[in-house]
Amino acid sequence: MQYETIVVERHDQVALITLNRPEAMNALSAQMMVEMHGVINELDSDDRCRAIVLTGNEKAFAAGADIKEMVDQTYLTAVQTEFLGEWDCIANCRTPIVAAVAGYALGGGCEIAMMCDFILAADNAKFGQPEISIGTIPGLGGTQRLTRLVGKSKSMEMSLTGRMMDAEEAERAGLVSRIVPLEELQSEAIKVATKIAGFSKPAVLLAKECVLAANNTTLDQGMRTERRAFHSLFGTPDQKEGMQAFIDKRKAKFS
Ligand code: CAA
């Protein structure tokens, strides 16, 4: 399928999605949302795709929802169309998604990066929720996911003042998993995604589900979810192969 606002490439079992509106700092347009919704759903049901990398360009991962498209939005149209709701496809995707962020990740850009499973940041990355400066607030999870990731104080400061975090601060605060030199960002993200793609698929899916459950449940319920998921993996050939391969001192061949 042909896309205009994104580029999709396959690297064996890894799909690389590049946001591609450089003229607008990769602002999240309605067309981009529809294209992303289509491609994420397609990749998520494609057994040959075992991990996804989502990236932008060197200047911008994405500078937020498209302000020029949004300026005339009304309350009625926003509610009736569940405005921006299709972006939730990223959070709902079962296939692991790594965000590779260089440059600006602002507003909706920061929010879709946080919908991914983890963020690798280039050393020039900048994260922010500047919606307050244009008379609005985050609408794709910024007040919720950012608060869970970095705590109330930093999240509040970012949402109330629009202050940006650089990559170092984002790493210290737990927003990103690690920082990579800009020129290595894409190759490192593909390398990490390839590593994930090589593991047992049921184990990967359950590991992701269990980590996500940590933010949605009590500790007790989360522990139950994890324990049952752990038990269930003893029903897979990959568990037998993985553990036998360790004992035999050879590389596991997951089915
Ligand atoms: N929407 C639409 N266009 C955008 C945009 C956005 N979010 N961000 C940048 N652009 C456009 C600019 O209008 C400009 O286009 P023109 O050349 O046609 O004028 C082009 O991208 C380049 O941008 P700048 O000239 O501003 O570049 P800069 O280097 O001086 O600044 C920036 C870069 C700091 C990212 C600045 O563009 C900026 O502040 N952008 C807006 C950030 C923002 O407020 N994001 C939140 C949006 S609301 C939201 O996301 C709600 C939500 O939660 C879902």
What mean pLDDT do residues 175-201 have? 98
Q: What is the CA radius of gyration of the chain?
A: 19
d(C-alpha 109, C-alpha 101), whole Å: 9
Q: 131 an active-site residue?
A: yes
112 lines ligand 1 (CB under 6 A): no
Indicate whether residue 108 lines ligand 1 (CB < 6 A).
Answer: yes
214 is catalytic: no
Nearest to 26 by CA among 100, 93, 104, 85: 104
pLDDT at 202: 97
Angle between helices 142-150 and 152-161 (to 10 degrees): 140
Distance from residue 144's CA to the centre of ligand 1 (Å): 23
- Is 103 touching ligand 1 by the criterion CB < 6 Å? no
Q: What would the pLDDT profile of 45-101 be if each residue is shown by its tens digit?
A: 999 999 999 999 999 999 999 999 999 999 999 999 999 999 999 999 999 999 999
Condensed to tens digits (0 to 9), the pLDDT of residues 131-181 reads: 999 999 999 999 999 999 999 999 999 999 999 999 999 999 999 999 999
Ligand 1 centroid distance, CA of 159 (Å): 17
Whether 63 lines ligand 1, by a CB cut-off of 6 Å, is: yes
Q: Are strands 60-62 and 178-180 parallel, antiparallel or unpaired?
A: unpaired
Place of tokens 């020129």: 183
**Mean pLDDT of all residues belonging to the chain:** 97
Is 0.95 topped by the overall pTM? yes
Based on the residue annotation, tell me whether 111 is a catalytic residue of this protein: yes
Angle, helices 108-115/142-150, rounded to nearest 10 degrees: 60
Q: Please give the number of the atom of ligand 1 that sits closest to the Cα of 24.
A: 21
What distance in angstroms lies between residue 64's CA and the mean position of ligand 1's atoms? 7
What is the pLDDT, as a whole number, of residue 1? 73
For residue 138, give the DSSP letter: -
Catalytic site residue 168?
Answer: no
- Give one word for 98, left, alpha or beta, with left for phi > 0 and alpha for psi -120 to 50: beta
pLDDT score recorded for residue 226: 97
Task: Work out which ligand 1 atom sits closest to the CA atom of 106.
Answer: 45
Nearest to 119 by CA among 63, 178, 77, 69: 178
